Each structure stands twice: as structure tokens, then as C-alpha cells.
Structure 1
Amino acid sequence: MDPVRSTVVVVTWRGRAHLGSCLDALAAQDRPHRTIVVDNASRDGTSDLLADRPVDVLRLPRNLGYAGGVAAALARVRTPYVAWLNDDAAPEPGWLAALEEALDGDERVAAASSVLRGPDGAVQSTGVRLTADGHGADATGGPVFGFCGGAALLRTDALRAVGGVPARFFCYYEDTDVSWRLRLAGYRVVRAPRARARHLHGASTRPGSVPFHRWNERNRLVMLLRCAPARIALRELARFAVITFALPLRRRVPDAANFRVAVRLRVLAEVAAALPAALRARRRISRIAAVPREAVWRGWAGSRPHDHPAGR
């Protein structure tokens, strides 16, 4: 039998309705692999669904989110490659083979991102692009700054070498943060066009909700404090604060959760609480960096697909 080179980590929370489809798709892969399902203290019968599945189950005593779940599973990974896969994603049979081949081709490639399509077949993501204000946004073609954590494969040793998964992020931006650190360490991140998966998107969290915006804004700012040039991190933190305190003075404010002053004040409070740890992480990242932060920023922030040579 071929050696098992990849461990697929699936994090679930109340995912009984769609987890079965994910695991069925994994069982149909044409490459041998190990599967670890991290159950984030589900109370919807997920444990019953997993009872008859040939997977390793890591049941957590409380919900640690997607980032916390992947971080908890990483300690159990013994294979050269580790895949991140959302519980509402169903990869095609050749998905894992395409990802492994993307990493096999170049030892400097530390992560390969999949093509995620919605139920209607439209492309949701081929990876992550870095916007001019430091947001991580879905790319839909061309070279990618980072991998999308919904379905990707990473070199286990490289992930550990750059500090692992930021468990305190809970969910959102853990993939962009890791991608930043991989690029700073001199690794490459690519998309794997033949690694395809269907993705429901937002099955566990509701895009546009208060928790969604809280996690997104908090984690973006903490990520920038950890990884970006200091001038960018300070600029974006100041911009967020100025907009927050100016909102009560505006006559017209969009009716969206990310424009609610209470939500934004909570984000600022949580960023302030996370600041000491973020600065310690920044110093650790600086020690392993082989590429200047400014070089990564100039090369990718606000870039378009044709700005980069194919496969960069």
C-alpha cells in the first residue's frame, strides 16, 4: 500500500446535517490519508454520526472555534502534510492527489489552496488575496497571497516552524495569518486548480452577523500587529478607531453589524487585550523571517493577478 502522507483535519460544531457528506467525499479520495475530526463540543448528535466512521475523533470539552480546533489537532499529526477542510465542504475524488502533487513539485511551496465552488457551481475561492488595507479576501483566479483554510494542504513541518495555528483567533483570518508567516519565512503559497471541492459556506457561522464582524475585524487587526509592517498595522488600527468614534457624529450610518459602535468598541477592547501577546508573537516572527515585512507587503497588498508571474 502507498504510504499515508497526509492527515486531513475536519473541525465541526453542530455539523451533523452536512458532516456526513464531507466524510463520504473524503472516503472516496484516491490517495490514502488519515482523518481527524475535531468535535467542538457539539450537542446535535454529531457524536452518534461519528461512531461508525473510520476516523479519529478529538472531542473538545468546549467550542474552541475553527482555529482552536485545527491547533488542537496539529499535535496529533504525524504525517508530512496536513490538510484543513471545512465540515461543509465536499472535495472531489482527486482533490487530495492534486494538493499533494502541488507540494511535491517544489519544497519551497508550503501550502496549496483548493478551488472552492458553491452549490450553484460558481467559484467562491481559489485562495486569499491581500487588499490594500490589509484585509484577506477571497481570490477567484491567478496567483494567491495565501491559502483558504476551507480546503488546503500544508507542509506540517513548515506550519510548526512558523508558529502553528493562532488558536486564539477562534475563527476567521487564521489562514491569512499563517500565510503571512509562511511568506515571511521565505515559503511560497500556490493554488491547485485541479483540487476542487463544493462548499456550502457559512454553515456554522452567519456571514454578516455580529459575531462574524467581531471576529473578522479583531483578527484582521491582530494579524496586522503580528505580521505586517508596523506603519500598516498602526495605520489600520488608527483608522478603525477614528471611524468608530466618528460614527455617532454621522447623520447616515449603514445598517450593518460592522457599523455598530458597540461592536466596534468591543473589537478595540479585545485588540487592546491581545496586544501584549501580539507583540510577543511579532518578535518571534521577526526571528524566523527571511523576507522583510515591507517586501511581502509591497509584493502583494492590493495586487491583481497579472501583477505576479504565474505560480509565484
Structure 2
Amino acid sequence: MKVAVVILNWNGLPMLQHYLPSVVTATPEADIVVADNGSTDGSVAWLQEAMPQVRLVLLDKNYGFAEGYNRALAQLEGYEAFVLLNSDVEPAEGWLAPLVEQLEHNDDVAVVVPKILDDKERTKFEYAGAAGGFIDLLGYPFCRGRILNRVEEDCGQYDNACDVMWGSGAAFCCRAEVFEELGGFAAEFFAHQEEIDFSWRVWLSGRRVVVEPRSKVYHLGGATLSSDSPFKTMLNHRNNLAMLYRCAPTAQRLLVAVVRPALDAVAALDYLVQGKPKSARAVWQAWRDFLRWHGRLSAERKAIRANVKREAPIYHGSIVLRYILGRKSF
């Protein structure tokens, strides 16, 4: 299987200098591609001089994660699979082969992701993807190995390959033909939760998303937007609402419409109590954008759910309530 490992970069020169050599060393069997989102920090010049074995795809401006990858992958022909890899990821030795094996041995698997560990505390799972992700009935994402802000130690408790609802975009292996067939990521998302939206559409198309823990990577996280960024808060809230509107079954969508406004209002108030007025404002901005998108989202929903072959494996409960009741793993 011909595979390209594609790293999207935007002004991430320090990350490239630190992590890219390890990607090249650990991945001799695949082509390494850096797609540059209009960087102005000297990234391209460094790549051309220091990493001539890496293919460059140059985009004219910062299109964000979603459209940046859409445009970059459209320029890469002849590949059977793409591995989207964040610029702040170090793969373990032999990481790629188990991912490719899943695709080669299971025709209905469209996306496969590795176990993602924290690059700073390597015995712990990493927040962004851990050992594969799910969402609950209200649309809140969580992972095997990470519920809310509680991240587990990796003690081998999730070392079984299994179906998951979504895989993290930090390390995301996808069949090229499926990425094209499903129209890639939702460009309007810009960044955050586009991989969950895409994974959901994979399930609706009758295919599966799998985590393969024999493959392991270490992710720094927060290299582009810190966890405290109001812009990141807005993107996560807005894109989550848009994803639910686009993809969710009718009953779930109606439940979200009734319950989420109150829960998000509580979240905004909590930000105010914490002295984070910009983050509180970001929640309201997310709802404003979501409501403005309503017409387009309705059309997208009609197309996405026109021929549902199977529903995604959603947790039909509240992950927050489950956590409060003491069940802090999944």
C-alpha cells in the first residue's frame, strides 16, 4: 500500500526542527510530505535546506487545518492512504506498519489511529486522542484514556484494537479514496472537531474507524493554539454544534437543541467566574455563528444523511454524569 505521511505546518519552525527528523527516521517505508499553510517564519527555507528528502506542498495562505489538508491532499496523486500527522508528534519505531495492516486486512476500515501518548509525560495518554474517541448523547467528546480533563496512565488497559467513534487528527490514517469520496474535512470548521465530523461521516457511509494500539505516537499538544485560547474555545463550541446538526440522528439533534443552550450558558458563566471574559464571549460567538450557518447546515445535513448505511457508535448517556457518579474510565 502506497502511503504518504502529511504534516500541515503554519509558522511551526521550532516544531518541525524538533519533531520532523524523528518522523523521517521512524517512517522509511512512506513518503513524507509537509504542506505549508503560507508560513512566514522561515519554515519553507529551512525545509528546503535541511530536509530535501521531504516533499513540499505550498499553499498561498493559512487555510486552517480542515481546508489546508483538503487542498494539500488534492495535490497528492497515486497514494492509497494518507496519514495526517501533527507537526508536534514523535512516532515510535515501527508505528506505521500496524496502521497499514488494519487497512489491508479489513476492507470496511476507512480510518485507523494509533495510541496517542503525552510527549511530556510518556506514561500517560494525551488529551487530544488517547486510545480512540467517542461522543456522548449531548455531543461531548471523550476518549478511552481521557474523560473530561482526567487523563489516565497507560497501563495496557486499552491495548486492544477496536472500533471507536472518532480518531484524533493529531495522527489520522485514512484511505485516500474515502477521503475524496466523503469530500474531505468540513472546510468551514477551519480547525478543531473536523476529524470527529469526518469520522462520523465514515460511519454513516457504512465503514469503520478503528484504534490500533500496536502503533504508538507521542504528541506535545497545543503547539498552534493553547488550551486557554478564546479562539480555540469558540471553534470547539461552534464546530461541535455544527457537527451535531449535520450528522446526528433526529432524536439526538432535538435533544441537543433543547439541552445544550442551557449547558453552554453555564459554561460561559463559569468562564466569567474564572475571570476569563474573552472565553465567555467566545461561547456566545460560537452560537451566533452556528445560527448564522443554519441554512447551509440544513442542506449539508440532508446530503449527509440521505443514504445512511449505519449509525456511529455513540455513547447513549451523559459522560459528565457518568464521571460525577464515579465512573472515570470508559
TM-score range, shorter chain: 0.7 to 0.9
Residues 210/95 of structure 1: CA separation in 2 closer, same or farther (3 Å cut): same
Residue matched to 2:69: 70
Residues 82-231 of structure 1: matches in 2 within 5 Å? 82-118=82-118, 119-121=120-122, 122-124=124-126, 125-140=130-145, 141=158, 143=162, 144-231=164-251
SS at match of 1:126: coil
Deviates more, 1:210-219 or 1:270-279: 270-279
Cα distance in structure 1, aligned partners of 2:302 and 2:193 = 20
CA contact (8 A) 1:12 1:87 kept: yes
CA contact (8 A) 1:147 1:179 kept: yes
Residues 243/196 of structure 1: CA separation in 2 closer, same or farther (3 Å cut): closer
1:126 CA displacement? 1.7
Deviates more, 1:152-161 or 1:171-180: 152-161
> 2:306 is matched with which residue: 284, 287, 290?
287
Question: Are 2:45 and 1:48 equivalent residues in the alignment?
Answer: yes
* Residue type of the alignment partner of 1:98: P
Residues 259/289 of structure 1: CA separation in 2 closer, same or farther (3 Å cut): farther
1:77 CA displacement? 2.8
1:223 CA displacement? 0.3
1:256 CA displacement? 6.6
* Residue type of the alignment partner of 1:279: S
Cα distance in structure 2, aligned partners of 1:47 and 1:5 = 25
Residues 232-311 of structure 1: matches in 2 within 5 Å? 232-243=252-263, 254-255=273-274, 257=276, 260-291=279-310, 293=311, 296-297=313-314
CA contact (8 A) 2:24 2:32 kept: no
SS at match of 1:51: helix
Deviates more, 1:22-31 or 1:238-247: 238-247
* Residue type of the alignment partner of 1:99: L
Residue matched to 2:149: none
* Residue type of the alignment partner of 1:40: N
* Residue type of the alignment partner of 2:205: A
TM-score normalized with structure 2 length: 0.81
TM-score normalized with structure 1 length: 0.86
CA contact (8 A) 2:271 2:277 kept: no
> 2:36 is matched with which residue: 34, 39, 45?
39
Residue matched to 1:9: 6
SS at match of 1:182: helix
